[in-house]
Structure 1
């Protein structure tokens, strides 16, 4: 008879060890703290990096910061509606990107100052007794024992051994965690180099981004909060990295951009290369990769920082659910299933955008400008770029999802293919499953103008338009939803806010902006199951709700499934 495996040790230093105090690591630690998970962040450096790196924060990341309870502290370090203009060598606009949408509750494009936002994330950990950040901690060894992870750490006080249920390597592009576990890092690091120059007391004052597709020397000029400006210039092969320390060379680059380059208040000057790489796997046993340790991408779409935050948002609720015993460990396999595909898509779009900017051949640049002029003459194409419709939004085809047509657990087709009248007459056949739900403002009986995520809290939710979702489920189903901590919400027009107030704990939310009604008008899915990361896990008709719940429990490896 085979004996059962021994239980994991109970004298662990943390539930989750996080290697690296960058945005992915700090974001994950805050989200785990909100879920009451014990987390320990280990950072090799003596303090947070204090110079600007990432400069673009999107609406998805602001929504994650909202989930961390830190968005109000971050907003003062951002510039909302950050317009990007792609200009040619003559300064003419080739394309303008200025999305006005706020479908997820926040401005789609925002400039930000990374060191100040990272500081907010680090200080946010002080709210949690069970979360700790330690500096000058170098992870030397990692051992996955099957039931826990053990790491050997060098510290100023000498070597230490730490143990946890899981480990997340968020330790950057040169990740020692990734190397420890032997995961490949596929892709390329092109030879093109860029000189980045950050200055205080912005000498121009223009608030937006200019990407200079100038064949003489491609450049970037970017206004940031707190009167910081960033310039970036492509270096040619014959120009050594040491030009960064040559004032004459640097001032020569800046003379066409700044009236008096010799008067600038420099923060830093550095040469860097754009990388396009992705790890062969984001999980190996009890060890995970997140942020730059899992993927590197060129800066053109400002998605490196945001992709790391997406990783943390996806992984945090799954780790918490498994550690609480709500779901089996197999749920954690969906992290790689869901995140790798979108990370790869963001790398590809960033590389493609760079190819538009970087040509130094005047003939190629002229052809590009001609094509851009033709495309800009077509309003639909112009809107496509202006509203960032080209940006691949995350859509999970496999993972913690249920197909809206077949009810199959673990997968979701992008299109609804059912033949029922609700589907046949719908304005859209695009499935809402596997994508983020909108975040409008709503009213309740006691509050007004509340963002939907704040009403739900950091947990699951079942939304139903016009009815009480609690009445769709059996008593056993309701106990299961309670075990998941799910919030039940009846969405209604504002005219019906006070109708039939439920006595079963269901929350009534009034659609003060009309956005929710428009969303449900277009889709034959009046019942929506929302994951803690605000992605739609399942959706369908009212009578489908019990079957969708059963399939969802299978998809998330709920023990009762």
Structure 2
């Protein structure tokens, strides 16, 4: 069925302009896909929600050419300690204060309204992207070749509609898009109400530094979080007898904060009870409807991975949509989105839930994947780097689904700045000489760049793995590896 002749049509409609939707819109803008964004709120929410992101997410911001602007508003995050009620450190989650393998620091702290402002301003670079604020989506009607999207202008009450090839719901935990897909959530076992308190310091307080502290106290769990600048956050687990309204009153909030801070030290910016959930939507895609971010999964905040996971979702999805619309792949490629991303995000949620259980008790053995040097020393928690679920792969698959690091090249340039939005074959320095001209021509036709840079970071990676080449996708994950020229040809054909 064709849309009416007066109906605007777009390749993609994005529902929701939070950090996940805005990042996706920037990605699609780079690919010059016609995109419309429908956002219910009239402006950016003025209070912080997410407060941290990691090096992989900064790498994604680099790919949409906004890393410099974002780097100017963030502070490098320190690690976290899990302490018992007597202050003894149970777990040490160190964050080295040096650039990591992704070319960025491991953790950043930020003020979400500032981040969203940069992402939204970035959309002005693209004539192919249209943003409509204060619009509420009312219906999604699917056809074989597209989706009719009806929406209401919440200022005037007027109804209007557009046609889109695909609709991506980045519309949060109460997602209209997910409800339209019609499947529920897989419950991962953590649902707890917590009081979230944000303050703005009036003066320098050196004891409230960048190190997060999780107070593991069965009586009343609490977490201190550095938010960057002069903002700080505390989170307190509610007891069954607590009244959410009463506990949020300023006098009760200051009473809970008094061991760290008082009204003379800071201004209370917000105190509100949120229920932290752990769950994953059972279905992320149906026909021409897809979901990402909180619409697809909900994560407690203890690892700072909620927003990060959503931004990884859309970086996985964006290049696949481009290949479909440019005719380089069938729509079947989109089926790999859910099967790759779901196990990856579940690994983060599972560890976050264990961290939440640890905060609520004093049993440090609850946290897996840690290293303990001695029985009386704290456990050490390291950065989690899960692989993608079993999706796209070719040739030697031992490293398939792993994120390839981002070293600096011999020129001083970061790897991703050279690769851009393309795929790349990275290889040992001398291996390029073995590739016949016809393979090089195939790569050029498919816009796959060949990189044999002698930079130590690349060559050491190949020396450690014992192979000669890998193909990395536009999202920087490895498709497969190769030892021979014939295997390189197989990698290229697979992509």
TM-score (norm 2): 0.92
**Deviations for 1:122-168, whole angstroms, at most 9, x for unmatched residues?**
11101111112211111110011011111111113411111111110
Q: Is the 8 Å Cα contact of residues 195 and 248 (structure 2) preserved in structure 1?
A: no
Q: Is the 8 Å Cα contact of residues 470 and 488 (structure 1) preserved in structure 2?
A: no
Q: Is the 8 Å Cα contact of residues 141 and 149 (structure 2) preserved in structure 1?
A: yes
> Helix, strand or coil: the match of 2:380?
helix
Q: 1:379 to 1:181 in 2, by over 3 A?
A: same
**Deviations for 1:240-277, whole angstroms, at most 9, x for unmatched residues?**
1112542221111011111x235521221110011111
Cross-structure match for 1:435: 402
Cross-structure match for 1:498: none
The alpha carbon displacement at 1:192 in A equals 2.5
> Helix, strand or coil: the match of 1:14?
strand
Cross-structure match for 1:183: 183
**Deviations for 1:405-431, whole angstroms, at most 9, x for unmatched residues?**
xxxxxxx4xxxxxxxxxxxxxxxxxx2
Structure 2: how far apart are the matches of 1:439 and 1:382? Answer: 33
Structure 2: how far apart are the matches of 1:68 and 1:379? Answer: 44
Query: For 1:62, which of 54, 58, 61 is the aligned residue?
Result: 58
The alpha carbon displacement at 1:189 in A equals 7.2
Cross-structure match for 1:275: 277
Structure 2: how far apart are the matches of 1:32 and 1:482? Answer: 23
What pairs up with 1:109-188 in 2 under 5 angstroms? Answer: 109-155=107-153, 156-157=155-156, 158-187=158-187
The alpha carbon displacement at 1:37 in A equals 1.4
Does 2:399 match 1:396?
Answer: no
Does 2:484 match 1:542?
Answer: yes
Query: For 2:331, which of 323, 329, 344 is the aligned residue?
Result: 329
Query: For 1:489, which of 451, 454, 463 is the aligned residue?
Result: 451
The alpha carbon displacement at 1:295 in A equals 0.3
> Helix, strand or coil: the match of 2:28?
helix
The alpha carbon displacement at 1:79 in A equals 2.0
Q: Is the 8 Å Cα contact of residues 376 and 382 (structure 1) preserved in structure 2?
A: no
Does 2:215 match 1:212?
Answer: yes
Structure 1: how far apart are the matches of 2:314 and 2:200? Answer: 31
> Helix, strand or coil: the match of 2:269?
strand
**Deviations for 1:340-393, whole angstroms, at most 9, x for unmatched residues?**
11122211111111100013xxxxx3xx26999xx88616997973433xx2x2
Cross-structure match for 2:469: 527
Structure 2: how far apart are the matches of 1:370 and 1:7? Answer: 58
- The alignment covers a number of residue pairs equal to 486
Q: Is the 8 Å Cα contact of residues 189 and 274 (structure 1) preserved in structure 2?
A: no
| Structure whose alpha-carbon radius of gyration is higher | 1
Q: 1:91 to 1:462 in 2, by over 3 A?
A: same
**Deviations for 1:186-211, whole angstroms, at most 9, x for unmatched residues?**
21675521111111126634122111
Does 2:195 match 1:199?
Answer: no
Structure 2: how far apart are the matches of 1:190 and 1:527? Answer: 42
The alpha carbon displacement at 1:281 in A equals 1.3
What pairs up with 1:192-341 in 2 under 5 angstroms? Answer: 192-201=192-201, 204=205, 205-258=208-261, 260-261=262-263, 263-341=265-343
Query: For 2:418, which of 434, 452, 455 is the aligned residue?
Result: 455
Q: Is the 8 Å Cα contact of residues 472 and 545 (structure 1) preserved in structure 2?
A: no
Structure 2: how far apart are the matches of 1:369 and 1:480? Answer: 53
Structure 2: how far apart are the matches of 1:483 and 1:381? Answer: 59
Cross-structure match for 2:373: 378
> Helix, strand or coil: the match of 2:345?
helix
Unaligned 5+ runs, structure 1:
360-364, 405-411, 413-430, 493-510, 554-561
In the TM superposition, structure 1's runs of 4+ consecutive aligned residues that sit over 6 Å from their partners are 5-11, 369-372, 379-384
Q: Is the 8 Å Cα contact of residues 53 and 308 (structure 2) preserved in structure 1?
A: yes
Query: For 1:99, which of 90, 95, 102 is the aligned residue?
Result: 95
Q: 1:82 to 1:181 in 2, by over 3 A?
A: same
Q: 1:24 to 1:201 in 2, by over 3 A?
A: same
Unaligned 5+ runs, structure 2:
none
The alpha carbon displacement at 1:549 in A equals 2.6
Q: Is the 8 Å Cα contact of residues 539 and 548 (structure 1) preserved in structure 2?
A: no
Q: 1:536 to 1:356 in 2, by over 3 A?
A: same
Cross-structure match for 1:387: 382
The alpha carbon displacement at 1:547 in A equals 4.0
Structure 1: how far apart are the matches of 2:233 and 2:38? Answer: 30
